[in-house]
């Protein structure tokens, strides 16, 4: 029983790690592309909500530090990929 | 048993007299006190729009643009009272809820679990509706584009008689470079309400618009916007009645309907009142 639980926990951890890496890769790609596309633009795009205001780099930092906002972004990325893989809703 | 019981015949006479009296009363014209009616019931098609603007840089630099966009849409259809920027104080909101008596309350600004914010005299966020005065939303429909309020204030207001409350149950994100996409999705709820559709139609329409925008921004490689739209979509919450309406139904003009209007087979009560290009010559 303990072995089964251990295997299950390992599986969850591995999936969470993959999701995090995937999110970091996607946001990193966007950051590179946006940097190339909007070079010379007045301001870098920011995500704002209530008192929070983050650039793409800062959101990547939130994901890396595994904060609540970072986890929200990872979840949204998982849902986004799932929805698009299913052809949307 | 009483000493003097009226005879059955006398009882019948009294009964008939009562019936006659009621019938005579009913024939009298009924005087409706409209002032009383307007005070007691929120006014259909009256919209109170609340959109403050705090010191930059702030979320409200962008949210006020979303509110302006909604005002441009709704102003020609409904009677809209717009409390913009410094006018959006708690005192003004409470005054307009009482005097303007709107059926629909729309809000764009910061929010907390138990409050939605407006502007204080010192240009700082100030709660305009919170759990202390949420009973003022009684018999009204509230639609807010702000953080968190649908998780606390929404259920509280509905518990105190608010017909329906639409908002977000967690942070509402926007991305500055593509912020109009966020307002276009969120505004769908109250745009549909102004057009006469019910709260469920508005909610579904907003979700569909979110899905379209998510697919579009993913397809052009803007993952940053797509992810934040996805978060907002999943947080949009409808509390209370799903069938509540706030305005009379408006019919958008469709080609077969337009033909029938031209042939005078149906009345010209369609919206928007515009001619299709093909018919321009006929009227010149």
Average the pLDDT over each of A26-30, B102-106, B157-161, B256-260 and give the range with the smallest value. B256-260
| Rounded CA separation B105/A18 (Å) | 44
From chain A, pick out residues whose CB is under 8 angstroms from the CB of B176.
43, 45-48
Element at B225 (helix H, strand E): helix B223-235
pTM for this predicted structure: 0.80
What is the token pair recorded at B119? Answer: 């502007």
* CB–CB contacts below 8 A, A to B: 83
| Rounded CA separation B242/B160 (Å) | 17
Q: How far is A13 from chain B (nearest CA, A)?
A: 22
Counting residues of chain A whose pLDDT is more than 90, the rounded percentage is 46
According to DSSP, the residues that pair with A65 across neighbouring strands are: none
Question: Is the N-terminal amide bond of B254 cis, ω within 30° of 0?
Answer: no
What's the confidence (pLDDT) of residue A12? 87
Element at A52 (helix H, strand E): strand A52-55
The domain ranges of chain B are 38-240, 251-284
pLDDT of B80 above 60: yes
Q: How far is A18 from chain B (nearest CA, A)?
A: 17
Sequence-ordered strand ranges (E) for B34-192: 43-51, 79-84, 102-108, 111-112, 115-119, 125-130, 141-145, 164-168, 174-175
The domain ranges of chain A are 2-85
Is B224 in contact with A73 (Cβ distance < 8 A)? no
In the three-class reduction of DSSP (H, G, I as helix; E, B as strand; rest coil), residue A25 is classed as helix
Sort residue B264 into left (φ over 0), alpha (ψ -120 to 50) or beta. Answer: left
| Average confidence (pLDDT) over A61-78 | 94
Q: How far is A28 from chain B (nearest CA, A)?
A: 10
What's the confidence (pLDDT) of residue B39? 74
What's the confidence (pLDDT) of residue A42? 61
| Rounded CA separation B106/B188 (Å) | 12
| Average confidence (pLDDT) over B140-152 | 96
Residue count (chain A): 89
Per-residue pLDDT tens digits for B236-282 = 999 999 999 998 876 554 555 666 666 766 655 544 445 545 545 54
Question: Yes or no: is domain B38-240 CATH 3.40.50.12160?
Answer: no
């Amino acid at each position: 029983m303990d072995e089964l639980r251990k295997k299950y926990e390992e599986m969850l951890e591995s999936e969470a790690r993959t999701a995090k890496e995937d999110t970091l890769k996607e946001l990193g790609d966007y950051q590179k592309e946006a940097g190339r596309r909007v070079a010379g633009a007045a301001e870098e795009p920011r995500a704002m909500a209530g008192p929070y205001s983050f650039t793409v780099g800062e959101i990547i930092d939130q994901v890396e530090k595994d904060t609540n906002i970072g986890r929200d972004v990872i979840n949204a990325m998982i849902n986004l990929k799932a929805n698009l893989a299913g052809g949307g809703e | 048993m009483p000493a003097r019981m009226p005879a059955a015949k006398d009882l019948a006479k009294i009964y008939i007299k009562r019936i006659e009296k009621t019938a005579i009363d009913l024939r009298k014209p009924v005087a409706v006190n409209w002032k009383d009616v307007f005070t007691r019931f929120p006014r259909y098609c009256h919209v109170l729009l609340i959109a403050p603007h705090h010191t930059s840089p702030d979320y409200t630099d962008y949210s006020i643009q979303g509110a302006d966009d909604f005002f441009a849409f709704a102003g020609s259809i409904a009677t809209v009272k717009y409390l913009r920027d410094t006018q959006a104080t708690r005192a003004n909101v409470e005054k307009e809820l009482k005097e303007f008596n709107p059926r629909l309350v729309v809000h764009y600004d910061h929010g907390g679990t138990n409050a939605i914010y407006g502007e204080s005299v010192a240009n700082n966020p100030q709660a305009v509706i919170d759990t202390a005065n949420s009973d003022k939303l009684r018999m009204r429909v509230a639609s807010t584009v702000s953080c968190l309020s649908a998780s606390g204030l929404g259920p509280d207001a509905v518990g105190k008689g608010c017909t329906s409350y639409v908002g977000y149950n967690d942070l509402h994100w926007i991305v500055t470079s593509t912020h109009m996409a966020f307002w276009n999705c969120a505004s769908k709820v109250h745009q549909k309400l102004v057009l006469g559709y019910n709260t469920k139609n508005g909610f579904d329409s907003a979700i569909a618009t979110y899905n379209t925008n998510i697919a579009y921004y993913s397809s052009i490689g803007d993952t940053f916007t797509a992810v934040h739209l996805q978060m907002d979509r999943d947080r949009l919450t409808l509390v209370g009645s799903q069938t509540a309406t706030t305005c009379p139904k408006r019919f958008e003009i469709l080609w077969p309907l337009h033909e029938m209007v031209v042939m005078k087979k149906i009345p010209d009560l369609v919206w928007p009142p515009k001619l299709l290009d093909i018919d321009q010559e006929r009227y010149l």
